[in-house]
Structure 1
Amino acid sequence: MTNITRRSVLLSSAALATGLGLSRAFAQSDVSATLRLQAFGGDAELAGIKNAIERFNKKYPNVEVVVSIDPISTGWGDYVTKVIGQFTSGSPADVYGTAIETFQSFSARGLFMPLDDFIKANPGFSDFAPSLFEHCAYKGVINYIPIGWNNIMVNYNRDLFDKAGLAYPKRGWTWDEFREISKKLTVKDSAGNTTQFGYEVPNQNFFVQSWFFSNGTSILNKDWTASNMLDPKVAETLQFLHDLIHVDGVSPIPGAETMDNQFVAGQVAMISRGQWIVQNAKANKLNMDIAVPPKKTEEGTIIGFGAYAIAAKTEQPDLAKALVLELTSEETQREQGERGGGVPGRKSAASTEAFLAFPPSAFLYYETLPFAHAVPSPANFQEVEKIFIRHYTAMMSGQETIAAGCQAADAELNQSFARLKAQMGG
C-alpha cells in the first residue's frame, strides 16, 4: 500500500476547471480529508496514478490519498471476491479501479454510485469513444468511467515474416489464409522437433474470444444470460483451433503458462494479445506489428477495459469525483498509454505521435472499435470463465472431444446462470 500526500501552491478554481473539465468546484480547496483508492495494475499504472494524485493535490493539498494496488495476478474473479469482502466488512475504498469483467458483479449488488449526471456535467468526457460508455452501463445506469482498454489483435514478428518471404497481414485476411501463413512460419529441425511455432493457440479466456466473434458467434447469448455453447459455429471455431495444434502442428497444446517470452525470443511468430505486450516488445527491441484478427464470416475482436467507480456510500463524494476526473484526464491517459499497458480511452491521448510510433500499425487499435465486442461478463463471470476455460483446455488437449466438451460446458454454464437467477431473486 502506498500513501501519497503533497502540499503545494494552489491553482485557481478556473485553472482547475480548464485542466480537468470540471463544470463546477466540487469541494473547498482547503478541505482536509482522506480518500482511499483501490487500483489495479503494475508499475506503469502505479506511476501514472501517483502523478495524477500529485496533480490532484495541487488543488487539494490537505487531502491524503491512500492507494492500494492489486496486480490481478489470480484473475478478476478473485478481485470481485476481495472487493465484495471490503464492502461486507464495512471498510470499502472511496474510489475503485476495476475492469469490465467485474461490472455486472458489482453493479448488480449496488456497490457503486450512479454517474450519469456526473458525466453529463463534464463535456470533456466526449473525448471517449461512445461505445466505451455503452459498455459501462448496467440496466441503463452508468457506474463507471472508462480508462485504458485492450482489444485482442494478432501480434506478429516482422523479422520472421521477412525471413519466410511472407507479406505482412492485411485487413480482411481469412482463417484459411491465416492457417497457411501459420504453416509457413512453423520451423522444424532435422530431427523433426519444432523450433519455431507459427502461432500460439491461446490458453486464456480473454485471448481466445476473438476467434468466436470473427465467426459471428460467442460462448454466451447476446445478453449474457445463458450459454451459447451449442451453436454449431462455436464447435466450428473450437475445431479450427484444435486442428491448428493437432493437424497442422503450428501451435503447442495450450499450457498453464503463456508464451510471451517465446514470442519475444522469436520462437513463436504470432500470438493473440492486447496492447499491453508493447511495453515488453519495446524493451527487447522486437520488430513486431499488429494485425486485425482474421475473419471467418466477419471482422470481429474482443475488447476489455478498465474504469473507475465511486463507492455508493462514500463520505466524500465530491472529492472522489474530483479525483476520478484527474485519474481519467487526458494527461494521465496520455502518460499511461505511452508507457504501455493499454490503449487510452481518450482518443486525443491515443492520437499522440509517441503512442502511434510503435507498433507501426498502432492506428489499428482504434479502427477495430466498430466491430469490437465486450468480453462476455455476466454477474457470474468468475464461474463462467472457470467453466469455459476448463473445458476449452480439455478440448484443445484432446482429453474431450469438441462435441462432448461443448455439451458439458453448456450444461454447467446454464446451471451457473440458474444459480445466479436464484441469488438475484429472478
Structure 2
Amino acid sequence: MEMLRRTLLTLLAGASIAAVVTAPALAQSDETGSLRLMTFGGDAQLKATQDAVARFNEKYPNVTVEVGIDSVSGGWGDFVSRVLQQYNAGQQYDVYHTAVETLQSFAARDMFLPLDDFIAANDTFADFDQRLFELTEYKGSTYFIPSTWNNIMVNYNRALFEEAGIEFPSREWTWEEFADIAQQLTVRDAGGNVTQFGYEVPSFFFGLMPWFFSNGTSPITEDWTASNMTDPKVKETLEYLYDLIHEYKVSPVPGQEGIENQFFAGQIAMISRGHWIVQNAISSELDMDVAVQPARESHNTVIGFGAYGISSKTASPELAEALVLELLSPETQQAEGELGGAVPGRRSAAETEGFLAFPPSAALYYETLPDTQAVPSPANFQEVDQIVMRYFTAMMTGEISIDDGIAQADQELTRSFQRIARITQ
C-alpha cells in the first residue's frame, strides 16, 4: 500500500511512472518477449491495469510488460504532444491507453495499427455498447478499441439540497430551473462573501460541452472540420454561463485550483464531472448523487472514452493483441468500474451490485448513453482545446467581451483547421 501511495503522489505531480509487472503462474505459452504499455488515470486505473498484467503473465510468463502511467494533468492536448515526442525519439510504447480526444490526431499520422480484423475475430467485444465502436472509426477503419467511458453529469451534494429544502433534480429540469436552484444553494455571510457556491462553471473543454450540446450547438462544426463560433447559440450559451458567474454569482470565476476539493468539502453544491470523481466522493464520505444535464433544447451531454491502440511500430503485434484482450477482459472492466474509475465499456460490468451501489443514481450513466455526443476531437484537437479554453477563460473573467472573444476565437480556429487540412488530405 505504501508503494501504491507513493506512486499516486507521483501521478499528482504530473509525472509518468514505469514498473515491470510479472506474476509467476502455470505456463500456457512459451513465447518470450517484452511489451511497453502506457495507460492513464489514477489509483483505480493503475490497480486494474497491474492486475490485468498479472493475469496476462499467467498465460505468458516469459513476456515482460513495462507499465507507464500518465496523470494527463495538463489535458489531452499536452498528452498528444508527449506521445508525438516519444515517436519522434523512437521511444514509443507498444500499447497505448488513450482517449477519444486524441484518436484523430494519432490515426491521421498513421501511428497505430488498424484493428478491424482483430475485432472481428474476437466475439468477446459483443458485450461492449456498439455506440462506443462507432466513435472510434477514422476514415472507415477502427484504430482503437473502447475500454471505459465518461459522460458528464451534474454531480450534486444531496445533504446541501436537503438543508436548503430543495427537491433533488428531476429528469426534466431546464436551464432556468438550474439557475434558480444554483441561487438557492449559494450561501453568503453577513458581509456578502460567498461561503458556499451553488455551482462551478467548468473550466475545461470536456466539462463545458454539455452546455453547448444541450443548446443544440458546439464551438466547432458537427463534422469537426471548421469553427462554429459564430453560431448565435454559441453566444447564447456563453452569455448564460457568464451570467451564472457575474449576474447570479453562483459560481467561482473559472481558472481557480482545488475546485473538486471544495466540492468534496461541501463548499460547492454542484459540479459537472464524469464518473471519475466517484472514488474521491466515497473516500470523502460525500452524500453525492448524479443528475442529467439541464436542458435548453435537449438533455444531451458529452461522452469521452478511453481506448486501447497498438503502435504501428510495435515489434510484437500478436503479443500486443493478447495484452489488449486481457486489459479489456470482464475482470478488468469490473474492477475499474467498482474501484470508482470510469464507466465500464462492457455493459455487464456496469450492471454489477458493486458498480450500482454508488452513487444512488448510478444507473443513469448507461441510461443517458443515447443522449450523448462525442467530445469534438478533430486531428488538431490540441490546438482547438487551447484556443477555445483560452478565449473562454478570457470571456468569463471579463478580460475580453463575449463578442470580441467569439470573433477572435473563430479566426484562430479557422487558421488551425486550414493547417490541419493540409496534413490530413
Normalising to structure 2: TM-score of the pair? 0.94
Q: Distance in 1 between matches of 2:313 and 2:402?
A: 47
Q: Distance in 2 between matches of 1:182 and 1:256?
A: 19
Which deviates more, 400-409 or 250-259?
250-259
SS of the residue 1:84 aligns to:
helix
Q: Verify: 1:322 aligned to 2:322, yes or no.
A: yes
* Superposition map of 1:346-357 within 5 A: 346-357=346-357
Q: Distance in 2 between matches of 1:35 and 1:252?
A: 45
Q: Distance in 2 between matches of 1:110 and 1:197?
A: 46
Q: Distance in 2 between matches of 1:125 and 1:170?
A: 34
Q: Verify: 1:8 aligned to 2:25, yes or no.
A: yes
What are the Cα deviations for residues 373-395 of structure 1, in whole angstroms up to 9, with x where unaligned? 11111111111111000110111
Letter in 2 for 1:117: D
SS of the residue 2:91 aligns to:
coil
What is the match of residue 115 of structure 2?
115
Tell me which stretches of 4 or more aligned residues in structure 1 moved more than 6 Å.
none
Q: Distance in 1 between matches of 2:256 and 2:379?
A: 26
Unaligned runs of 5+ in 1: 12-28
Q: Distance in 2 between matches of 1:140 and 1:394?
A: 38
Q: Distance in 1 between matches of 2:258 and 2:150?
A: 17
Q: Distance in 2 between matches of 1:49 and 1:71?
A: 14
Letter in 2 for 1:341: G
* Superposition map of 1:14-413 within 5 A: 29-413=29-413
1:91 Cα deviation after fit = 2.9
The 8 Å contact of residues 199 and 269 in structure 1, kept in 2 or not, is answered as yes
Q: Distance in 2 between matches of 1:280 and 1:46?
A: 15
Normalising to structure 1: TM-score of the pair? 0.94
1:10 Cα deviation after fit = 3.2
Letter in 2 for 1:410: D
Q: Distance in 2 between matches of 1:110 and 1:273?
A: 32
Letter in 2 for 1:9: L
The 8 Å contact of residues 203 and 258 in structure 1, kept in 2 or not, is answered as no
1:362 Cα deviation after fit = 0.3
Q: Distance in 2 between matches of 1:281 and 1:308?
A: 27
Change (3 A) 1:388 1:293: same
The 8 Å contact of residues 203 and 255 in structure 2, kept in 1 or not, is answered as yes
Q: Say how many residue pairs are matched.
A: 408
Q: Distance in 1 between matches of 2:126 and 2:189?
A: 54
What are the Cα deviations for residues 125-155 of structure 1, in whole angstroms up to 9, with x where unaligned? 0111111111111011001111111111000
Question: What's the RMSD between the two structures over aligned residues?
Answer: 1.1
Which deviates more, 322-331 or 38-47?
38-47
Q: Distance in 1 between matches of 2:335 and 2:106?
A: 28
SS of the residue 2:34 aligns to:
strand
1:258 Cα deviation after fit = 4.7
1:423 Cα deviation after fit = 2.9
What are the Cα deviations for residues 2-47 of structure 1, in whole angstroms up to 9, with x where unaligned? 0112221135xxxxxxxxxxxxxxxxx1011111112212222111
SS of the residue 2:148 aligns to:
strand
Q: Distance in 1 between matches of 2:359 and 2:90?
A: 45
The 8 Å contact of residues 7 and 62 in structure 1, kept in 2 or not, is answered as no
SS of the residue 1:112 aligns to:
coil
Which deviates more, 170-179 or 71-80?
71-80
